Amino acid sequence: MTHRVAIVGAGPSGFYAADGLLRARSDLHIDIIDRLPTPYGLVRAGVAPDHQGTKAVVRQFEKILAQPDVRFAGNVEIGRDLSWQELSVAYDAVIVATGMVIDRKLGVPGEALAHVWGSWRFVAWLNGHPDHRQGPDLSRVRTVAVIGNGNVALDVARLLAKSADEMAKSDIVAEAGAAIAAAPLADIHVIGRRGPEHASFTNNELAEMGRLARAVAVTDAQSLAVAPPASDQTPERLRKQKNLDILRGFAGRQVGEKPIAVHFLFNAAPVAIRPGELELTTGKLPADLVVTCIGYGGEAFPKTPGMFAVGWAKRGPSGTIPTNRAESHAVAQQVLDWLETRDPLSGPDILPLAVDAAGWHRIDKHEIAAGAAAGRPRVKLTDWRTCWRSRKPAERSMLMH
């Protein structure tokens, strides 16, 4: 008999937790459960489709899935297919790695209008998340307001600004890529309510905005007469200083150099959204599409003994993929300490029929083969009702175990 651990959420923090556990106890039985039929959480559904290098982290996670006592159980949603209570009774420990992807609200009038999109809904559409197959109508979108000053705001602006050629080697879903390529885009405003010295862009991602084929990045030099806050730690000060240098480069560029202008606008807070218009504390802007990139909230989960949270579910929506590693390893140690005090349970296996690792590998192979035919890394399967749920039994068995 050995202990059994359920990890709910097959994103980075869940995999790093499994890694931490297995490093100390390779005998553990670990079930990694996800509501999607596909693993890897935001690496698949959040990280921008043109940043394939970042997505390569999944190779580490594949090795964990290949361990003999690790099972993947996709298409199993805790709270729907099994309750948290059932899990906590059936497993010696439960790790909650469910992330946080409910778009935070701006809290201004007009936010419910159809042309206002939260960044999660928008990015999930581009990335083929099966819950978000419908994107915005871009056919008449000339002006876009991207609200926020983090890397997700840069992702959104860049993905709209890039040419079809620049996206050719990405795994953006075909409909989204075609809609962006056909949109009459002219101006994209990236809007920060504070000054550029507070922006949380990372240097490489900001610099990339200056190298786009069909878009020029511009900003007003006057807003750049600032310095990073002296109270910041050195690495943070250096990052901000470098951002200011990059933005100064943008200030020397001209609208009209390329078909699209990406304007960086600072010290401007949203006041109201109206059809075709965004009102800021500094004035009004035309905006046929508004994308808010201002962070996320998450679903509540029970916090009972034997349940341990990791990743965004624990810390909130901040930190990159590597940030999750050390934290998940530390939580894995707490789980190991907890298991130390308990005899293994001996109840039945409660997992319902799921997409297992072999099923996921079939999906993976299918997507990669479809991508190879189009010269892309993969073409994602995005419709879970027709793809995974309502297929004929013979086809379903191809994907399920």
Ligand X SMILES: Cc1cc2nc3c(=O)[nH]c(=O)nc-3n(C[C@H](O)[C@H](O)[C@H](O)COP(=O)(O)OP(=O)(O)OC[C@H]3O[C@@H](n4cnc5c(N)ncnc54)[C@H](O)[C@@H]3O)c2cc1C
From residue 137 to residue 176, what is the string marking binding to ligand X with x (rule CB under 6 A)? ---------------x--x---------------------
Which residue, 49 or 228, has its beta carbon nearer to ligand X?
Answer: 49
Select the residue interacting with ligand X from 26, 66, 77, 169 (CB under 6 A). 77
Phi, psi of 147 (to 5 degrees): -100, 120
Report whether 248 contacts 207 (CB < 8 A): no
36 binds ligand X (CB under 6 A): yes
Q: Which of 49, 192, 311, 359 binds ligand X (CB under 6 A)?
A: 311
Q: At its nearest, how many Å lie between ligand X and the CB of residue 154?
A: 10
Q: Which residue from 79, 135, 195, 259 is in contact with ligand X, where contact means CB under 6 A? A: 79
Single out the residue of 7, 30, 32, 42 in contact with ligand X (rule: CB under 6 A). 42
Classify 40 in phi/psi space as left (phi over 0), alpha (psi -120 to 50) or beta. Answer: left
- State the helix-helix crossing angle for 12-24 and 323-340, rounded to 10 degrees: 50
Q: Which one among 32, 78, 94, 278 touches ligand X, defined by CB under 6 A?
A: 78
Does 320 bind ligand X (CB under 6 A)? Our answer is yes
The minimum distance between CB 20 and ligand X, in angstroms, equals: 13
| Burial category of 214 from C-beta neighbours within 10 Å (exposed 0-12, middle 13-18, buried 19 and up) | middle
- Type of residue at 91: Y
Cβ proximity to ligand X: between 8 and 224 the closer is 8
Instruction: Name the nearest CA neighbour of 11 among 20, 27, 35, 199.
Output: 35
Count the neighbouring beta carbons within 10 Å of the beta carbon of residue 316. 13
Per CB under 6 A, 354 contacts ligand X: no
Q: Which two tokens stand for residue 190?
A: 């990236």
Nearer to ligand X (CB atom), residue 282 or residue 320: 320
The alpha-helical segments, DSSP class H, found in 144-233 are 151-161, 164-167, 174-182, 203-208
First to last CA, the chain: 25
**Which one of the spans 5-13, 171-179, 213-221, 360-368 is the region binding ligand X (CB under 6 A)?**
5-13
- Phi and psi at 230, nearest 5°, equal -65, -25
Binding of ligand X by 287 (CB under 6 A)? no
Is residue 54 a contact residue for ligand X (CB under 6 A)? Answer: yes
Write out the residues near ligand X by the rule CB under 6 A: 8-14, 33-36, 41-42, 46-47, 51, 54, 77-79, 97-99, 101, 123, 152, 155, 311-313, 319-321, 324
